Amino acid sequence: MKRLQERIRQDGVVLSSQVLKVDSFLNHQVDPILTMEIGQAFARKFQADRVTKVLTIEASGIHFALATAYALGVPFVYAKKKQAITLPEDLYSVPVYSFTRQETYRISVSKRYLTARDRVLIVDDFLATGAALLGLVELVKQAGAHLIGVGAVIEKSFQEGRGKLEQAGVFVYSLARIESMSPGEICFAEETENMLAEETN
């Protein structure tokens, strides 16, 4: 998605070769126009897949799931990180290890909002190590629902997330794939592919 790439270049801050700060427009202060365009881009990609529910995880996936669900005309559900005051048997729940915080937390979704009849599209802001997304995939499995795929707004292709998801048989679609980055420089996979295509033409 060209506009997203341009915005990442313009306003993203590369803190290290591993961490990209996008909190001025994506995950703290949020640009609503860009967010709605992101939702439309996911909806266009998955419009033929008869999605019945968009699933994400709090907090930074919520507005992208809302925009995508709105464009598809279906509800969205977000997995909670804090345990709700609900009976454990009413929840699908799975442990997720956070590499950034070096701790394990549980994510959960009510059994009422994810069922075997659902066709689920998972959406999240970052695809990095894949830990949180694999947790969401597991929740879909527990529900016996059909998983259509994962939509990531930004994929850090140099981390292992995509490989792990694909190994688990999950289709992955990302709107901006970062191949490498360093302070002052971001290299998108799509641009490398376009350059190679131009060279061979």
Query: Which chain residues interact with ligand G4P by CB under 6 A?
Result: 19-22, 27, 57, 59-60, 98-100, 124-133, 161
Residues 34, 40, 41, 44, Cα dihedral to 10°: -170
Q: What φ, ψ does residue 141 adopt, rounded to 5°?
A: -60, -45
Shorter beta-carbon distance to ligand G4P: residue 65 or 133 = 133
51 touches 20 (CB < 8 A)? no
Residues 28 and 31: their CA atoms lie apart, in Å, by 10
Shorter beta-carbon distance to ligand G4P: residue 39 or 130 = 130
- Structure tokens, 19: 């961490």
CB of residue 189 to ligand G4P, shortest distance in Å: 15
Shorter beta-carbon distance to ligand G4P: residue 133 or 145 = 133
Quick one: residue 184, left, alpha or beta (phi over 0 = left, psi -120 to 50 = alpha)?
left
CB of residue 17 to ligand G4P, shortest distance in Å: 10
CB of residue 138 to ligand G4P, shortest distance in Å: 12
CB of residue 144 to ligand G4P, shortest distance in Å: 22
Shorter beta-carbon distance to ligand G4P: residue 185 or 198 = 185
